[in-house]
Amino acid sequence: NLSTVSEFVFVGLSDAPETRLLLFVLFLLIYLATLAGNITLLVAISTDSQLHSPMYSFLGNLSLLDLLCPTITVPKMLGALLLENREISFSGCLFQHFSFIAVVGTEIFLLTVMAYDRYVAVCHPLRYLSIMTMKLCAHLAMGTWAAGLLNSLLHTSLVFTLSFCGPNKIQQYYCDIPPVLALSCSSTRSRELVILGVAGVLGSGACVLTVVSYIYILLEILARKSPGIWHKAFSTCGSHLTVVCLFYGTTICTYIRPSFTYSPHRDRVVSMLYGMLTPLLNPIIYSLRNKEVKCALKRVISRV
C-alpha cells in the first residue's frame, strides 16, 4: 500500500433530498426484484430434475453471478443515497474493486462457454449429452470462475499499487477501474496499456469465440433447410444471444477504451446498465423465452 489516502468518497448521484429519496426507492426495488428473480431461478434449477442438464447448470452459475454483481455495489450506493454515507476505506474499495471485476470477468467467460454449449446443441444434437458431460460442464464452470479471479487479481494489483496522495473523490457509485485510476498521483500510462491489453485480449478472445459459435450455428441452420428449423434454433439460442448483446455492449463501452475518453456522467449510466439492469433482465429473458424454465417455475410455485 503506497497510498497516503486512507479512504475514498463517492460522488453522490444527486444532492437534492427529494431526488435522493426517489432514487433510493427506485434502486431498492430494482435490487429486490433482481434478488427475487435470480434466487427463484436458482431454486428452480436446483430442485427441478428436468433442469438438471448442462445448459441449466451454466444458467445457474449465471444467476449466481447476477446475484453477486449488484450485491457488491448496490447496498453501499443505497446507504449513500439514504444516509449520505459516501465514504469507503482504502481496503474496502480494494475489496469491492476486486470482487466486482472478478464477477464481471467470470460472466464474460461464462457467456462464451454457454455459446459453445448452444453450438453443440444445434450442430451436434445427437452427440450433445456425450460431449457436454456433467464432468466437462463442471470443469468449464470452474475454469470460468478461476479465470475471472485471476483476471481481477491482475487488474486490482495494477490499480491499487499506484500512489494516491491527492484527490479522493470517486466519480462513480462504486470502485471501478477508470475513476480510481483518475485519482492516482503517479504515472498510470504503462499500467493503462497493460490493463487495456489484457482486457482487449481476453475480452476480444471471448467475443470472437462467441461469434464463431454463432456463425457455425447459422451455417448449420442454412445447410439443413428443414421446416421449423429457424424457430427451433431461435428458441434454443435466442435468450443467450440477447443476454450476450446486452452485456457485451455495455462492458465494452466502459472498459475497452483509454482513460482520456472517460466521462463520469456517461459511465455512471452505462455501468448501471450492466451492474443493475442486466442482472435484473437475465432471469426475465430466460424465463420468458424458455418453456422448460416456465414450467419448472410453475412447479416450484405450486409446491410452495
**The C-alpha cell that represents 76 in the structure block:** 453501499
- Let me know if residue 231 belongs to a domain: yes
Report the SS3 class of residue 171.
Answer: coil
Query: Is 113 a domain residue?
Result: yes
Asked if residue 283 is part of any domain, the answer here is yes
Q: Which residues contact 218 (CB under 8 A, 6 or more apart)?
A: none
State residue 1's pLDDT score: 45
* pLDDT, mean over the chain: 82
Please give the residue that has the higher pLDDT: either 85 or 57: 57
Which of 3 and 279 is assigned the larger pLDDT?
Answer: 279
As a 3-state breakdown, the chain gives helix, strand, coil percent values, each rounded to 5, of 80, 5, 15
Question: In this structure, what CATH number is given to the domain that contains residue 158?
Answer: 1.20.1070.10
The verdict on residue 96 lying in a domain is yes
Contact 62, 247 (CB under 8 A): no
How far is 50 from 295, CA to CA, in rounded Å?
A: 10
- The pLDDT assigned to 208 comes to 87
- 64 located within any domain: yes
Distance from chain centroid for Cα 25: 23
User: CA–CA separation, 99 vs 72, rounded Å?
Assistant: 7
Q: Is the residue at 49 inside a domain?
A: yes
* Average pLDDT for 46-69: 88
Q: What percent of the chain lies above the pLDDT cut of 90?
A: 21
Cell of 216: 457455425
pTM of the model: 0.85
pLDDT at 181 over 80: yes
- pLDDT, residue 238, reads 66
More confident residue, 161 or 301: 161
| Tens digits of residue pLDDT in 226-265 | 666 666 666 656 666 777 777 776 666 665 555 555 566 6
Give the three cell numbers for residue 176: 471501478
In a domain, 1, yes or no: no
- Domain around 100: 7-302
User: What average pLDDT does the segment 169-189 reach?
Assistant: 84
Residue 2 lies in a domain: no
**DSSP single-letter state for residue 273:** I
Domain count, the chain: 1
